[in-house]
């Protein structure tokens, strides 16, 4: 068996950043921008009023000063003339500050009588003017790579960028294997269960930028598995779930090898998820995940998600780990790195008392995977320990 880090190194060697494509800005949310975006305009493009009030020359401002109002400026409708020292322009938020003015006196500090305003006695020092280019200027960059979120999209729009270059979404084929499986909604026989792993993995992988598709269940025959692999042609990553062990009915490795898979490794020193297989099959990377539902989901988090990030050009790093304080003592750990379903509350983490790899209800109730290293020494309550957030 190899370690988790050794397995990750092998997996990263099987993939590379994918090619790029240009997408309209309205379709770019959640995508990985892979070239810097360069601002095409200043923002704001002119000095703009930050409040409703009156634009005046700051050197004429003092309590009780009087000004003659000669016009109005609103957003999208600036005042075109020059404003004298004792003149004012009624101005609204977002409007260009007129020539000859450099301060906005807010309307609450002004008394107006026809075309004359008088400033109040309690004036603050704020000019209420947003300087031209105060947010960004032509040539300023949004650096890549980055996963584009809502704030990024808004910024790109204001930079006058209608489309961005992004990594193509990794195409992932998900194949459940086993005679015991039926799809959700079907009527299972007396010896059958519902296939759940592909649905959980699809949700996970789609959520981090992949495009996963669930293929028909492959039965425990060479012909059925070969047909499933044929349907996966064109994928960047093929994931099988179940059948990757060494039992009489575990045919995934045999059939994959017959189809030309170059195996990179088999078995990882971890719990859950020991029977993990990986290699290349034609143009695609291939991973054989264990069939226990929690094992498959944990391996998806620990191994598959970092591979997807690598394919998106986000680097070859393991899933980032955080630390929390233990809620209670723990006994000596085991010979495999253990990813324990746990609850994290207010910086304190407690593993569930049930860690069987078939219990999806425990996984659904967890918000963290607490990590115990190989042969971890006994732990005391309050000690720091690593975890992966869920």
In tens digits, the chain (390 residues) has pLDDT values of 899 999 999 999 999 999 999 999 999 999 999 999 999 999 999 999 999 999 999 999 999 999 999 999 999 999 999 999 999 999 999 999 999 999 999 999 999 999 999 999 999 999 999 999 999 999 999 999 999 999 999 999 999 999 999 999 999 999 999 999 999 999 999 999 999 999 999 999 999 999 999 999 999 899 999 999 999 999 999 999 987 655 544 688 889 888 888 887 888 999 998 888 899 988 999 999 999 999 999 999 999 999 999 999 999 999 999 999 999 999 999 999 999 999 999 999 999 999 999 999 999 999 999 999 999 999 999 999 999 999
Strands of the sheet containing 163-167, edge to edge, are 20-24, 163-167, 32-33, 146-147
Residue 183 CA: distances (Å) to CA of 18, 206, 217, 223, 270? 32, 20, 8, 20, 29
How far apart are the C-alpha atoms of 149 and 204, rounded to whole Å? 18
| Ramachandran angles phi, psi of 71, nearest 5° | 175, -170
151 token code pair: 């704030």
How far apart are the C-alpha atoms of 349 and 381, rounded to whole Å? 10
Residues 320-334: tens digit of each pLDDT: 999 999 999 999 999
Spell out the residues 6+ positions from residue 172 whose beta carbon is closer than 8 angstroms to its own. Answer: 205, 210, 211, 212, 213, 235, 236, 237, 238, 239, 308
Strand (E) positions, 114-245? 116-119, 129-130, 141-142, 146-147, 163-167, 171-176, 181-182, 193-194, 211-214, 237-241
How far apart are the C-alpha atoms of 255 and 56, rounded to whole Å? 81
15 token code pair: 């993939």
């Amino acid at each position: 068996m190899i370690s988790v880090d050794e397995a990750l190194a092998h997996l990263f060697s099987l993939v590379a950043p994918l090619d790029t494509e240009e997408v309209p800005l309205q379709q770019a949310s959640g995508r990985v921008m892979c070239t810097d975006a360069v601002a095409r305009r200043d923002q704001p493009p002119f000095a703009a009023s930050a409040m409703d009030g009156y634009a005046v020359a700051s050197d004429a401002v003092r309590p009780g000063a009087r000004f003659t109002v000669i016009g109005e400026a609103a957003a999208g409708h600036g005042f075109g003339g020059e404003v004298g020292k004792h003149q004012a322009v009624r101005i609204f938020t977002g409007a260009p500050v007129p020539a000859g003015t450099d301060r906005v006196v807010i309307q609450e500090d002004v008394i107006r009588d026809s075309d004359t305003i008088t400033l109040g006695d309690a004036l603050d020092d704020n000019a209420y003017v947003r300087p031209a280019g105060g947010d960004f200027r032509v040539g300023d960059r949004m650096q890549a790579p980055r996963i584009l979120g809502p704030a990024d999209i808004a910024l790109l729009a204001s930079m006058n960028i209608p489309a961005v270059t992004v990594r193509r979404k990794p195409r992932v084929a998900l194949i459940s294997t086993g005679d015991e499986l039926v799809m959700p909604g079907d009527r299972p026989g007396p010896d059958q269960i519902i296939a759940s792993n592909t649905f959980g993995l699809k949700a996970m992988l789609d959520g981090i930028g992949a495009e996963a598709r669930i293929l028909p269940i492959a039965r425990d025959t060479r012909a059925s598995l070969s047909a499933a692999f044929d349907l996966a042609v064109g994928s960047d990553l093929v994931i099988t779930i179940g059948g990757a062990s060494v039992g009489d009915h575990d045919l995934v490795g045999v059939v994959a090898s017959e189809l030309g898979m170059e195996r990179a490794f088999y078995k990882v020193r971890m719990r859950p998820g020991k029977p993990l297989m990986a290699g290349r099959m034609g143009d695609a990377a291939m991973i054989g995940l264990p069939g226990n539902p929690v094992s498959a989901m944990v391996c998806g988090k620990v191994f598959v998600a970092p591979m997807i990030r690598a394919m998106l050009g986000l680097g070859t790093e393991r899933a980032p780990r955080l630390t929390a304080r233990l809620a209670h003592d723990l006994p000596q750990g085991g010979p495999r790195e253990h990813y324990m379903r746990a609850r994290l509350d207010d910086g304190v983490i407690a593993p569930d008392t049930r860690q069987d790899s078939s219990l999806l209800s425990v996984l659904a109730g967890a918000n963290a995977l607490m990590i115990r290293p190989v042969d971890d020494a006994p732990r005391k309550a309050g000690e720091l320990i690593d975890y992966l957030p869920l």
